[in-house]
Amino acid sequence: MKRFTSSGAEIAYQVQGQGPPLLLLHGFPQTRAMWDKIAPKLAARFTVVTADLRGYGASSKPEGLEAYSFRAMGRDMLELMAHLGHERFGLVGHDRGARTAHRMALDAPQRITKLALLDIIPTHHLLQALSKDVAKGYYHWFFLAQPAPFPETLIRHDPDHYFQSCLTGWGSTALQDFAPDQLAAYRKSWRDPATITAMCNDYRAALDIDFAMDAADLGRQLDIPTLILYGADGPMAKAYDVPGTWADRVSPLTSQSMTGGHFFPDTAPTETANALMAFFFP
């Protein structure tokens, strides 16, 4: 593990392989360990960078709501890649990492060669057109966003129970479908009270900061080749035409349904790696 100090946080990261640069960003409630079965396959063709988002894993946990906007998270990664000598790079994100990646592409489109967004619909669309079924399935958006210390207090009572319910609750996934070493890394991270607070602030910022940022960018279409991957059994695929929600936001657009639910990178790593390889290295 290496460390880089951005303008707002200390970021834990790893680099492997040689070739065109490719940055992989994890989601909630995970760490960069989610790429452990995927990154080595991509490293055969790419210089692969995996990093913990601020607030997650071994990265620092800044205080304050504003520190957890997707813009702030993305700025860390843009600065990290520049520090590593990569002015332009491919970008992959899952879940919160995908929302960070979308914001990075909006803020610095000249930096991104290709973009892959895994199992999300646009943040603004999810919140603006919220249905009761999505609100029920993705209740955590609104639970975690409640004022401190309400969600933190409840989660700290049994963080394994809470976060493991997230891993198994968004698609047909059982806990044994996750690799033991990766699950151990997630547990180590989410048992840290500072990480719990940071993750809550991530969701608070989505409602209080990111929604308005995205509203200001409605009507913008990114001219960046984009791959949309989504879990066939996940809540997003059941509630939305996932590629359709991105049709007016990115171009050209490629999409593919993946085996499993929301956490298909964990449960189907070979299929995920193959899909990414085919897109970034056709």
95 catalytically annotated: yes
Q: For residues 271 and 98, what is the distance between their CA atoms, to the nearest angstrom?
A: 18
Q: What is the overall mean pLDDT for the chain?
A: 97
Residue 221 predicted with pLDDT over 90: yes
pLDDT of res. 90:
98
pLDDT tens, position by position, 34-71: 999 999 999 999 999 999 999 999 999 999 999 999 99
262 is a catalytic site residue = yes
Between CA 23 and CA 143 the distance in angstroms is: 30
Confidence of residue 14 (pLDDT cuts 50, 70, 90): very high
pLDDT of 172 higher than 80: no
Label residues 112-124 b or e (16+ Cβ within 10 Å = b).
Answer: bbbbbbbbbbbbb
The 3-state DSSP class for residue 236 equals helix
CATH number of the domain within which 196 lies: 3.40.50.1820
Confidence check: pLDDT of 179 > 80: yes
Q: How far is CA 35 from CA 94, 141, 229, in A?
A: 10, 24, 15
**226 and 250 in contact (C-beta within 8 Å)?**
yes
Can you give the pLDDT at residue 178? 96
Domain span at residue 12 reads 2-280
Question: Mean of the pLDDT values across residues 187-210?
Answer: 98
Phi, psi of 27 (to 5 degrees): -120, -165
Helix segments in the chain, DSSP class H: 39-42, 70-83, 96-107, 123-128, 132-137, 140-143, 150-157, 159-169, 180-190, 193-205, 211-216, 235-239, 242-246, 264-267, 269-280
Pick the catalytic residue from 86, 124, 140, 262.
Answer: 262
Check if the beta carbon of residue 127 is closer than 8 Å to that of residue 134. no
Q: Provide the number of structural domains found in the chain.
A: 1
**pTM of the predicted model as reported, rounded to 2 decimal places:** 0.98
Q: Which of 95, 202, 214, 233 is catalytic?
A: 95
Tokens standing for residue 179 = 């690799």
